[in-house]
Amino acid sequence: MTSELKIYNTLTREKEIFKPLNAPHVGLYVCGPTLYSHAHLGNCRTFLSFDIVFRYLKHLGYQVRYVRNITDVGHLESDADEGEDKIAKRARLEKLEPMEIVQLYAVDFHKVLDDFNLLPPSIEPTASGHIIEQIEMTKKIMENGLAYEVDGTIWFDVEKFAKTYPYTELSGRNLDEMLDGTRDNLEGQSEKRGRLDFALWKKAKPEHIMRWPSPWGEGFPGWHIECSAMSTKYLGEEFDIHGGGMDLIPTHHTNEIAQHQACHHKSPARVWMHTNMLTVNGQKMSKSLGNSFLPHELFTGSHKLLERGYSPMTVRFFMLQAHYRSTLDFSNTALQAAEKGYQRLMNALKLVGGLKTSDTSTCRIAELKADIYNALNDDFNTSVAIAGLFEGVRIINSINDGKDTITTSDKDLLQKLFKEITEDVLGLKEESGAGSDKVDGLMNLILELRKDVRAKKDFATSDKIRDELLKVGIQVKDGKDGVTWTSN
């Protein structure tokens, strides 16, 4: 028997048995990217973690509506609602329309997530496509007395809100300390009454490009309100799971909950899930720290931190070896180990269908299955589930070597388990590049022919073969120990 699914809820700080509000339907909302530049590998880790949540819930038979938004307006340079809009700034610098910037990076973002084999969400709404909903929500919060206008900008009144609702419930911070720590700093900031107050709607300065009419004049929405408006629109006033990276807890998610409560008098999501950070030498990978690299740099090995390139499935496997709530430190050594591990897993997957069967089984497949499902049910613990799969790899190799035996029904169970967990739940797939049987076979043939022409001193043809292969991304190297090739 396998256990029930338990999810760690940031709100209650406990692992809770997952009970959807309206089974078999599940509503899942994840804060998506701000498309002002390329997504880096840290961003990908967060979206990959929620891809596992989406895949596993579907695997368990739930009908999941997965909403992941695109922030294309309103995300300012600082969390304190100051600075320029990130997208507008990029548009100004590159002399492009803001929506050209968004489109450019949206195409790139989708391509990268596709390379990593992430399933597309059910709905991918944009902030700029939901201005009306954001204005309506802002109006309601004002009607409820929890927001005020100063010269065309609408501020959320945190101190007043906190008199009725637990503002720091999610972050666990001490509100009095937060208020004391900021009260003195308000001088010179004429507009808002409290330093913790945040903008629901901002008045557009004359030079601001992205602007819409509103009851308070021309302006644009604040960052947090978009997620509240879009999650309510597509998942209802109360839904099952809301997720994002841990760095969103203190401001973005805290404010999302506050806005929602100020508008609808209830909390939006029952379960809040947060992923931990991808780090480089222990430091959070981030664009501003300059330690981030882009997925294509990882695939080609072109970044200075990389000894060589790693395939998307190697990287996917590397990330899944850590639990989503643990930090994951990037290193070449770890990626090289992941590459080997991933290949061993894929080889076992190929072997399992052809295993010879016997009248008796010397291996306990039902137990292995229970172990793997128990791990996934324990807050999506892919790390332990992968350890279980490797126990499966050991069993498969041992049967293949004739050291263990398996019955037909156990073999069917093992094959189904391996296929479903590896491909459907973990989303790992055979790569068509280096490593696949067909490509390996073709490359062996081409390099044999090249060896023949070199033996005949036909170096022109030999070089042509090398150059043409390079054009399709395959690099041939003539070394001391023979010819090797790599693919990117």
- Residues in contact with Zn ion by the rule CB under 5 A: 31, 227
Gap between the Cα atoms of 342 and 359, Å rounded = 31
Binding segment for ligand AMP (CB under 6 A), chosen from 198-206, 273-281, 356-364, 416-424, is 273-281
Q: Closest Cα to residue 378, out of 1, 18, 10? A: 18
Report the residue number, 76 or 146, with the smaller CB distance to ligand AMP. Answer: 76
The two tokens of residue 161 are: 């809100």
The distance of closest approach from Cβ of residue 82 to ligand AMP in the complex, given in angstroms and rounded to an integer, is 17
Please give the full DSSP string across 251-314, using - where no structure is assigned.
IIIHHHHHHHHHHHSS-SEEEEEEEPPEEETTEE--TTTT----HHHHHHT-STT-SS---HHH
The distance of closest approach from Cβ of residue 248 to ligand AMP in the complex, given in angstroms and rounded to an integer, is 5
Report the residue number, 227 or 280, with the smaller CB distance to Zn ion. Answer: 227
Binding segment for ligand AMP (CB under 6 A), chosen from 31-39, 156-164, 349-357, 439-447, is 31-39
Report the residue number, 39 or 263, with the smaller CB distance to ligand AMP. Answer: 39
| Residues forming beta bridges with residue 254, ordered by sequence position | none
In the set 20, 33, 121, 309, which binds ligand AMP (CB under 6 A)? 33
How far CA 2 is from CA of 56, 365, 370, in Å, comes to: 14, 13, 5
| Residues forming beta bridges with residue 239, ordered by sequence position | 269
In the set 248, 355, 399, 414, which binds ligand AMP (CB under 6 A)? 248
Tell me if residue 147 falls in helix, strand or coil.
strand
Report the residue number, 36 or 342, with the smaller CB distance to ligand AMP. Answer: 36
In the set 9, 10, 34, 311, which binds ligand AMP (CB under 6 A)? 34
The distance of closest approach from Cβ of residue 46 to ligand AMP in the complex, given in angstroms and rounded to an integer, is 4
Q: Does the protein bind ligand AMP through residue 285 (CB under 6 A)? A: yes
Binding segment for ligand AMP (CB under 6 A), chosen from 138-146, 232-240, 278-286, 308-316, is 278-286
What is the H or E stretch that residue 331 is in? none
In the set 247, 339, 379, 431, which binds ligand AMP (CB under 6 A)? 247
Q: Closest Cα to residue 214, out of 233, 228, 231, 200? A: 200
For residue 199, report the phi and psi dihedrals to the nearest 5 degrees: -85, 130
Based on its alpha-carbon atoms, the radius of gyration of the chain, rounded to whole angstroms, reads: 26
The distance of closest approach from Cβ of residue 293 to ligand AMP in the complex, given in angstroms and rounded to an integer, is 11
Report the residue number, 59 or 287, with the smaller CB distance to ligand AMP. Answer: 287
Gap between the Cα atoms of 488 and 485, Å rounded = 10
Q: Does the protein bind ligand AMP through residue 45 (CB under 6 A)? A: yes
Cβ–Cβ contacts within 10 Å for residue 121, how many? Answer: 22
Binding segment for ligand AMP (CB under 6 A), chosen from 42-50, 152-160, 419-427, 449-457, is 42-50
Gap between the Cα atoms of 466 and 461, Å rounded = 9
The distance of closest approach from Cβ of residue 279 to ligand AMP in the complex, given in angstroms and rounded to an integer, is 7
458 in Cβ contact with 450 (< 8 Å): no
Residue showing tokens 């339907």? 25
Q: Does the protein bind ligand AMP through residue 202 (CB under 6 A)? A: no
Q: Does the protein bind ligand AMP through residue 245 (CB under 6 A)? A: yes
In the set 121, 219, 221, 244, which binds ligand AMP (CB under 6 A)? 244
Q: Does the protein bind ligand AMP through residue 241 (CB under 6 A)? A: no
In 185-263, at which residue ranges do the beta strands (DSSP E only) sit?
A: 198-203, 219-221, 239-245
The residues binding ligand AMP (CB under 6 A) are 31, 33-34, 42-43, 45-46, 244-245, 247-248, 275, 277-278, 284-286
